[in-house]
Structure 1
């Protein structure tokens, strides 16, 4: 063993202060809008719209399969209403998720299957949000700026290392 190795290596240390939370497909480029942020946003918008269109075609083929099977008008109508309701709920929940954290994470987990059925709504929400910002950027930016402000406030309130302070002279 060598005595020259150090356990504190400056290249692997984490920077002081709060770190931004990465966003899917964007990493932390949303903080400074660098690293191809604009191209990533355009790619996410195009990709989510293309996936929504492809999903709509898949649902159309499923509907045509039911029509060929001649299951009846009631089942066809029920299927259309179910997908419309699930899509609107998925859109609303996904859109809300971009602006605030869920109040009840257990409820969001319970709605996961409903959001999977209405996946076109989630994809459309993702598309519309990516036209203006990275999906979830507004929420994460406000949390990050709040954490930075708290960190700076705590840091500025410190007066330095207490061990290096001069001791007050004692009165005789």
Structure 2
């Protein structure tokens, strides 16, 4: 075996950044083709939104051929428009702030029904992804704030540590005074 396989893996020197979909960890330093990835994600989201619009157009043409009536046509157009707007807003907010976990059963049901809205309004979600990719990697702002906070917390913990207590020299000052109650003498109780 090579020596590389014998050594244990080194512990990370701090918190690791979260890998974003399509970007990995290139969002941290904007390296590794970050700009190309952003352009690709923006273009891909836009192309998928246009293809989705064509699919919906064919569905509407099917309704026109079936002659279901103008009221049904208007209701379906309004339904897809409202669902797309809600999906856009929900997706955009997901890039900016974390959703709070829900412990309540009614909130859980509302979350499941929102997933249905997101599926119906997929074009809005894709457009939110496209618009956010023009500004930054989708979710980068949120993850960067969390990563910077974790790094600052790690740095504070690291600088306030006293070190390895076993490596201290005898008589060195530690947080507590040794033998303060016994007047400096240590006694064993039996």
TM-score (norm 2): 0.82
Task: Within 5 Å, give how 1:1-172 maps onto structure 2.
Answer: 9-10=7-8, 12-104=9-101, 106=108, 107-168=110-171
Contact 1:102-1:108 at 8 Å conserved across structures: no
Distance 1:74 1:104, change over 3 A: farther
SS in 2 for 1:34: coil
Q: 2-side partners of 1:31 and 1:109: how far apart?
A: 33
CA distance, structure 2, for counterparts of residue 8 and residue 141 of structure 1: 35
Aligned length: 169
| RMSD, matched Cα | 2.3
Q: Secondary structure at the match of 1:152?
A: helix
- 1:38-68 C-alpha deviation (Å, 9 max, x unpaired): 0000000000000000000100110010001
In the alignment, structure 2 segments of 5+ residues that lack a partner are 103-107, 173-178, 186-190
| Larger gyration radius, structure 1 or structure 2 | 2
Structure 1 unaligned residues grouped into runs of 5+:
none
Instruction: Report the Cα offset of residue 7 of structure 1.
Output: 9.0
Structure 1 residues 147 and 111 mapped into 2: Cα distance closer, same or farther (>3 Å)? same
Task: State the 1:6 CA deviation.
Answer: 10
Post-superposition CA distance 1:121-145 (Å, at most 9, x none): 0000000000010000000000000
Q: Report the Cα offset of residue 9 of structure 1.
A: 2.1
Deviation at 1:108, TM superposition (A): 3.7
After superposing the two structures, state which structure 1 stretch, 108-117 or 57-66, moved more.
Answer: 108-117
